[in-house]
Amino acid sequence: MPITLSPFSRGRYRVTLTQDEDAIAAARDLRGRCFGLGGRDGDAFDSVCVHVLVHDISDNALVCCFRMLVLTGGEEIESCYSAQYYDLSGLRGYAGRMVEMGRFCIDPGRRDGDILRVAWGAMARFVDENGIDMLFGCASFAGVETDHYLDAFAMLRAKHLAPKRWLPRVKAPDVFRFAARLRRKPDPKKALLVMPPLLRTYLVMGGWVSDHAVVDRHMNTLHVFTGVEIGAIPAARKRLLRAV
């Protein structure tokens, strides 16, 4: 089954799907700037993924990008990026088509909230066109110090842990086991204030997370595995995404 995403424009933004090397190079440059790497970001997964690009029509600037790795089912779960950091054996029995969304970034110089909305509209169209049953990936908090994010992690523990049958197990050598360590009651306002926008969007779609965060010192992030079962997304949220 070919992987597709029909190009579309909304307002001042144009969305395309590509595997073109020059276009991917531009996405890798944007990722390097967003992640503060001091150069171009890239790894072996770039060549096996399809890349979604969002350009500003007014100046043709690349303002957002992310990549998608499509799996026919859970038997392929060990081939994904996230499997480097999480034991995903619980998902091996998942029967539906899956897609890993990764390297999501928005140009830090652009403050237009429509960019995120258009990007998620593109994700919704990708899911629909390719018959995806589960969306997953790693959602990152900036930095590797946990103290600033304790209310956010407490909220994840209280409301958003993965179902036991899908729960990722610890694999990375350096992790923060927030579900086991935190017993505090979260302050919702403080939690949402520091919750990454990408993760907030996953959660309002009914998403769930791992019970621990991986401490990634190379990328200077704390990240949690996040999954969204498409069939569980609230109908109102699906309508909003598809309306984009």
CATH of the domain at 201: 3.40.630.30
pLDDT one-digit tens code per residue, 170-227: 999 999 999 999 998 999 999 999 999 889 999 999 999 999 999 999 889 999 999 9
The Cα 172–Cα 82 span in angstroms is 11
Range of the domain at 177: 8-243
| 3 pLDDT tier (thresholds 50, 70, 90) | very high
3 belongs to a structural domain: no
pTM of the shown model: 0.94
| Structural domain count of the chain | 1
In-domain check, residue 1: no
Dihedral sign (CA 75, 77, 79, 83): negative
Region 41-49 average pLDDT: 96
- Interhelix angle 114-129/235-243, nearest 10 degrees: 110
pLDDT-based confidence at 14, cuts 50/70/90? very high
